[in-house]
Chains A and B, each alone.
Chain A
Amino acid sequence: MLQLSSYGQQNKYLLQGKIITVAGVPVKNATVKITGGSNAVIGDSTGFFKMLLQAGVYKIEISSVGFKTKHTQLTVQNDTSVTLNLFEKNVKQLEEVIVVNDKNQPLQKVATTQMAVERITMNEAKLLPAIFGEVDIIKVLQLKPGIKSGGEGTAGIYVRGGGIDQNLFLIDGVPVYNPSHLLGFFSVLNQDAVNEVEVYKGGFPARYGGRLSSVLDVKMNNGRSDKIRVQGGIGLISSRISIDGPIKKNKHSFIVSARRTYVNLVTGLFNKTLPDSLQIPAYYFYDINGKASFKLSNKDNLSVNFYYGKDFFTQARTNFSNKLQWGNTAASTEWKRQINDNATLSTVAYFGGYQYRINNRFGVNNVSVGSDIYDKSIKSDISIKASDISTVQAGLQFINHRFEVGKFGISTTFSDLSTGNRITGNQMSAYILHDVAPTKKWRINYGLRYSSFVQNGKWYFGTEPRAAIRFAIDSTQSFKINYTKMYQYLHLVSTTGAALPTDIWYPSTAGVKPQNGQQAGLGYSRSISQNRFFINAEIYYKWVKNAVDLRDGANIFLNNNFEKEFVFGKAWAYGTEWYIEKKRGRTTGWVGYTLAWTWRQFDAVNNGKAFRPIYDRRNDISVVVIHKLSSSISLSGTWVYGSGNYVSVPQGRFTFQDITGNPQQIPVFTGRGNYKLPATHRMDIGLTIRKQKKWGEREWVFSLYNAYSRLNPLFLQYTPVVNAQGITESFKPELVSLFPILPAVTYQFKFK
């Protein structure tokens, strides 16, 4: 190994990393050379190398006997950790797997001030088993500490005791208001279109705002600029296809991805043979992603993005029918300009929204219900590297929100009526943040976001300070502390805490104050065993003022005045998260553990007593293991454990005759979150077999969801106990589980 000058030399940064094969096997004694320069090192027997470089962009050549020589480019702006793949000479190189400046590398995680963040790339997500074989990067995020699922197999997330409405879900910077399909079982993210997702659980940088609990920042793929590629997959319930390639070779590129489920085609065949009374409801969804990237000059890049997705549920009989449709729309354009070597300007304009419609027909009566939210926004961000140790970012954003609330129409032979409220609101924000490392040990990221919201002449203002401090004990371990304050001006009108398509977004108004939340956290990070393992431990406390909930018995249908349904109170959550990850070798994976408490309190709910929401989960454990059996076969497994959710169950009943004289038993609820469901646990197993073909590459992906067929409770239902005369006498509690063991197979392909 080449001896290097001492670490920490003035204005020099450590570039270190590992050379591995695509199967993850270390490449011994590889040569890493700066093209056109004198720097060169030879890696050790574990593939590890390091060198000191001044800040700049470097062309690097990596070579080793028996492997193809690789040329790549690296940007070094601070201590940098990379993983570089070499391909054996007899293996065709189909896809370059390079992780440059990988924020997921342990040393990078230790070095940054940012804590409470999780990053998953789609390449990582694809290695894990998936329900129905449908890879969903959001469900992989649920395996990280502090991020909890809403229930068995669902894609909704609850972050550090925050509600589902407190997540800012961004696709290439555009908010998506209902990011799931099929009542939450699938996210809106098509695996071929997504590059990576970052989730901020706390310590939010000042450039983010608008939600209290998390930011999910999804980056979509740009598409290749060298040649056309077609890839896709055929699964049990859906298929997808993606095309990407150059618009102009090595300059402009595009990608278009589409996905559709086809269960309704099967049920449609059954329905042809079934009588009217037994017709099976039909359901399907589709979504389309697209992106075009243009390199206008050496300094200017322009991209245009869009997403459109829709769900359909239809129940049709002769005398009545229910038709539900819901979906998101997002379109944006981004112009990035490299002003000079140290300054970048990005400007984004977008349009996006969500709408749902329900059309019910019974007899000659047609009833329609709906609601919309649409945003138009422009924002601009500038990043200036003032020096090697100091970076400043600042930005402005304006959003125009338009809400259509309580849309309702009824038409009969003699009447045709409709109603609904249109509400508009404008949100403005500005921020500045400064990331500075005054000494080698200390690094500080502090900033201020100032936001405002105006609706019908009523103004609200929010001052949102942010700060994060890192103290590095050495290059492999650090302590971190942070504090953030956030304002949320939009509220989700939901009676369930789950992500229903009919949940309605409603703005802050004169009668509905914005929610604001503060969070403080303390963490310790460490990279051990030559960057093979990463350990992280954090504690946090979060408190929310003006938390919004709905009064008991709130009516959100056929109601265009939600304000009388809202109640206001407070919420608080605290907990600790522990995480260890193995990043190198044939076997990788992680173990995460969360111990957490979540409370809400409203004077007008639960007799004023604090209660646990359904997403309060005391203990949460996830174990993820990925093992590469060979360069073409990988085996993966996950095991999750979660304490039971708190649900509201009735404790009494009474007989109600009604004026019809037909006695019914009415359950009596006495409080919220009064019963804890049994704990859930589950193991999933996946096997991926990849093979190179003359035409490209194919993959068989086998998955076994819930491998030991544990019947995990999703909810508790009370089934009426009926006597011989057909009269309900009492109720019998039963746990309802959705999925036993579920095998799935998916065929995936990539054409050259």
Chain B
Amino acid sequence: MMRNKNIFLQALLFCSSIFLCHCTKPITVNLPPDENRLVVEAYLIPQKRLAVALQTSAGISNTQPVLLVSRARVTISHNGITDTLRNSPYIDSANGRVYNYSSPVIMGTDYVNTYTLTVFDSTSGKLYTAATKLLPPVPIDSVNHAVNIDNEVSIGFVFTDPGAVNNYYRRFVFINELSTENRGNFRFTDRLFNGTAFSLFTRFIYKSGDSVTVRLYNLNQDYFEFLESINTAEDAAGNPLAQPVFAKGNISGDALGIFTALSYAEKKYIVP
């Protein structure tokens, strides 16, 4: 949520810059690269194809963008049925996500039973597993806006948090069309407002006449924590004030990545 360590890093460098400079010097780090760990990225979204992206980690200074895995057996099991995903590229046209393992099977909507992923990596001979559930979406009650003195608009929305469980949310705000820019990526939990109505506003970056779509994901805890950990890891790579973090999700063994099911509620709004 808030990057207070980044604020302190800015403060540190700001203070040093006042008193002449901070300097950087390239260096060679003689450490063995951490390579060839399996990385899984898989989202189960109702009405979308089953698809998984499999790659291996690369050395930190390796310039090859992605090291794809081609020799794996991938299955997703649910409610007694197992679907095998073939090494067949699939691109989600809605957002450009690329997967190298996919199945023509369309994901259903089941909020009760568990989905299980297995990946057998033929190269290493290791078997990896993960499990997730689809959570019901939390409806958006209303969308509204606020205007500042410069006539810039902030988009807000109100929703009612279910009180029985801990919820983890992610908000997107798309402008004009869903496939265009998402300016409202924000992650939060219900710790402060469990079981009550809550509202959240964007920055003042919209204007009168904009057509926006507010989307509220109801996330699994392990996906939320994975996102937190990778953000912290990104911070730590260039921040002496951040703690090193192992960006490990819910995949078994030494694999990295995440397997999660996603549901969301949406509401459109035209700024008057």
| A675 contacts chain B at the CB level, 8 A cutoff | yes
Bound form: Cα–Cα A109–B88 in Å: 78
A324's contact among B7, B23, B59, by CB below 8 Å, is which? B7
CB neighbors of A among B87-142 (8 A): 92, 95-98
CB neighbors of A among B203-253 (8 A): 203-205, 217, 225, 227-230, 232-234, 236-247
Q: Mark A708-732, 1 if CB is under 8 A from B, else 0.
A: 0001001111110101000101111
| A185 contacts chain B at the CB level, 8 A cutoff | yes
Q: Mark A313-352, 1 if CB is under 8 A from B, else 0.
A: 1010011101010000000000000000000000000000
B241 touches A365 (CB 8 A): no
A182's contact among B15, B22, B23, B193, by CB below 8 Å, is which? B15
A367 touches B262 (CB 8 A): no
A residues less than 8 Å from B217 (CB atoms): 659
Bound form: Cα–Cα A45–B16 in Å: 51
Q: Which of A33-41, A251-259, A390-398, A551-559 contacts B (4 or more CB under 8 A)?
A: A551-559
B158 touches A653 (CB 8 A): no
A495's contact among B28, B29, B59, B242, by CB below 8 Å, is which? B242
B228's contact among A414, A553, A659, by CB below 8 Å, is which? A553
A369 touches B2 (CB 8 A): yes
Q: Mark B2-13, 1 if CB is under 8 A from A, else 0.
A: 101101101110
Bound form: Cα–Cα A668–B65 in Å: 15
| B27 contacts chain A at the CB level, 8 A cutoff | yes
A364-B156, A412-B201, A735-B27 given; A315·B236 CB < 8 A:
no
| A132 contacts chain B at the CB level, 8 A cutoff | yes
| B76 contacts chain A at the CB level, 8 A cutoff | no
A680 vs chain B, min Cβ distance (A): 13
B192 vs chain A, min Cβ distance (A): 5
| B182 contacts chain A at the CB level, 8 A cutoff | yes
| A661 contacts chain B at the CB level, 8 A cutoff | yes
A652's contact among B37, B97, B182, B236, by CB below 8 Å, is which? B37
Bound form: Cα–Cα A329–B19 in Å: 29
A residues less than 8 Å from B148 (CB atoms): 318-319
A666 touches B23 (CB 8 A): no
Among B10, B193, B238, chain A packs the most CB atoms within 10 A around the CB of B238
A666 touches B233 (CB 8 A): yes
| A413 contacts chain B at the CB level, 8 A cutoff | yes
| A23 contacts chain B at the CB level, 8 A cutoff | no
B residues less than 8 Å from A414 (CB atoms): 156, 158, 197, 199
A553-B229, A650-B60 given; A183·B96 CB < 8 A:
no
| B272 contacts chain A at the CB level, 8 A cutoff | no
B233 touches A731 (CB 8 A): no
B55 touches A654 (CB 8 A): yes
A664-B234, A667-B237 given; A738·B22 CB < 8 A:
yes
A657's contact among B4, B53, B245, by CB below 8 Å, is which? B53
A675-B31, A732-B26 given; A718·B60 CB < 8 A:
yes
| B70 contacts chain A at the CB level, 8 A cutoff | no
A319 touches B60 (CB 8 A): no
Bound form: Cα–Cα A550–B59 in Å: 27
A718 touches B237 (CB 8 A): yes
A183 touches B15 (CB 8 A): yes
| A573 contacts chain B at the CB level, 8 A cutoff | no
A740 touches B20 (CB 8 A): yes
B24 touches A656 (CB 8 A): no
B residues less than 8 Å from A358 (CB atoms): 2, 4, 7
Bound form: Cα–Cα A740–B24 in Å: 11
| A100 contacts chain B at the CB level, 8 A cutoff | no
Q: Which of A9-17, A496-504, A593-601 contacts B (4 or more CB under 8 A)?
A: A496-504
Interface size, chain A (Cβ < 8 Å):
96
A656-B230, A667-B234, A737-B22 given; A313·B247 CB < 8 A:
no
B199 touches A413 (CB 8 A): yes
B residues less than 8 Å from A738 (CB atoms): 16, 22-23
Using CB atoms, name the residue of chain B closest to A718: B237
A281-B14, A736-B24 given; A674·B31 CB < 8 A:
yes
A315-B7, A408-B192 given; A668·B233 CB < 8 A:
yes
| B165 contacts chain A at the CB level, 8 A cutoff | no
A residues less than 8 Å from B95 (CB atoms): 659-661
CB neighbors of A among B157-216 (8 A): 158, 172, 182, 185, 189, 191-193, 197-205
| A648 contacts chain B at the CB level, 8 A cutoff | yes
A residues less than 8 Å from B10 (CB atoms): 281, 315
| A641 contacts chain B at the CB level, 8 A cutoff | no
B157 vs chain A, min Cβ distance (A): 10
A residues less than 8 Å from B14 (CB atoms): 280-281, 283
B34 touches A668 (CB 8 A): yes
Among B23, B35, B57, B154, chain A packs the most CB atoms within 10 A around the CB of B23
| B79 contacts chain A at the CB level, 8 A cutoff | no
B2 touches A367 (CB 8 A): yes
| A542 contacts chain B at the CB level, 8 A cutoff | no
Using CB atoms, name the residue of chain A closest to B6: A322
Bound form: Cα–Cα A660–B18 in Å: 38
| B81 contacts chain A at the CB level, 8 A cutoff | no
B26 touches A733 (CB 8 A): yes
A661 touches B96 (CB 8 A): yes
A730 touches B12 (CB 8 A): no
B residues less than 8 Å from A669 (CB atoms): 233, 236, 244-247
B156 touches A661 (CB 8 A): no
| A463 contacts chain B at the CB level, 8 A cutoff | no
Bound form: Cα–Cα A581–B82 in Å: 78
A362 touches B11 (CB 8 A): no
Bound form: Cα–Cα A209–B242 in Å: 31
A50 vs chain B, min Cβ distance (A): 50
B98 touches A657 (CB 8 A): yes
| B269 contacts chain A at the CB level, 8 A cutoff | no
Interface pairs A-B: 6 shortest CB-CB: A652-B34, A715-B240, A661-B95, A414-B199, A717-B238, A648-B244
Residues of B whose CB lies within 8 Å of any CB of A are 1-2, 4-5, 7-8, 10-12, 14-16, 18-29, 31-35, 37, 39, 41, 43, 53, 55-66, 92, 95-98, 146, 148, 150, 152, 154, 156, 158, 172, 182, 185, 189, 191-193, 197-205, 217, 225, 227-230, 232-234, 236-247, 256-257, 262
A322-B7, A358-B4, A667-B236 known; 5 new pairs, CB 8 Å cut-off, are A313-B11, A410-B192, A554-B243, A656-B230, A737-B23
19 A-B pairs with C-beta separation under 8 A = A281-B14, A319-B204, A358-B7, A363-B154, A364-B154, A417-B193, A495-B243, A502-B8, A552-B243, A651-B60, A652-B34, A655-B39, A656-B41, A660-B172, A718-B237, A730-B61, A734-B27, A735-B25, A737-B24
